[in-house]
Amino acid sequence: RLLELEVEDVYRVGRVEGGTWDSFTRISSMAFGDDGRLHLLDPQQRRVHVVSPEGAHLVSFGTQGDGPGELRSPVGVQVLADGRIAVADNGHQAFLLFTPSGEFIRSYRYGPGSALPGARLFRQGTDALVAHGQGFRLEASPGGGPPALPTTTPVRRWALDPATDEVEVTLLAEAWRPEREQRPGQTMVGGRAMVAMAAPRALEPQVHFAPLPDGRFALGDSSAYRIRVYGPDGV
């Protein structure tokens, strides 16, 4: 069923010429705060740009590095209910939290065994983030053959304790992943293990999901052409 939509520009950001804050390299993730401010993540610049509801530049923050509050491989940005800004940094394997003005607060490690979240980072409740895993890597001991590629993609929730750097990780669902032809792994340095990589391919069905206002979340089932709705804890 075709939907008739009327779209009106509110503002536009992004320039071709260099030397301005919105000379973006690539925008991988964006998020609106409850106050209407737009947050744009440019992963190659390692910068987050914040725009007012009228399109005016408010603040930019972020710098490349390995220290506290510095960004290595940022992939996603989201705004918590109180305005704090969360950046998923797969280089640090942690969520980095900043104040609305871009000052670093603390980081939260993803947790052991957690898949690396992708650019689509969602807020659930007050202090929780939800995302599905993107590419993954498996390792196996020598002599055991190449590792088998899983046929599901995990959807996880990371509940961030606002008073500490503790995080509670919950597996909410296992989304379907297309099967792939098994290929030989690559030997790591020293020949200690075999490695298999599985980043998303261009024409594969992608995982689509989003939390609902009441705490439930919807997951697109590409194998059955349906939308499945789950409770807040994946039930």
pLDDT tens-digit readout, 73-122: 999 999 999 999 999 999 999 999 999 999 999 999 998 766 788 888 99
Q: What are phi and psi of 50, to 5 degrees?
A: -115, 130
Alpha carbon dihedral 26, 31, 37, 40, in 10-degree steps, equals -10
Helix (H, G, I), strand (E, B) or coil at 190: helix
DSSP state of 133: B
Q: Give me the residues paired with residue 79 across strands.
A: 85
Confidence (pTM): 0.83
Q: Give me the residues paired with residue 130 across strands.
A: 122, 157
pLDDT at 187: 45
Q: Which residues of the chain have pLDDT under 70?
A: 113-114, 134-150, 178-204
pLDDT at 109: 93
Of 51, 60, 87, 50, the residue nearest 71 (C-alpha): 87
Q: Give me the residues paired with residue 140 across strands.
A: 194
pLDDT at 46: 95
Radius of gyration of the chain (CA): 19
pLDDT at 202: 62
The secondary structure of 32-67 as a DSSP string is: E-TTS-EEEEETTTTEEEEE-TTS-EEEEE--BSSS
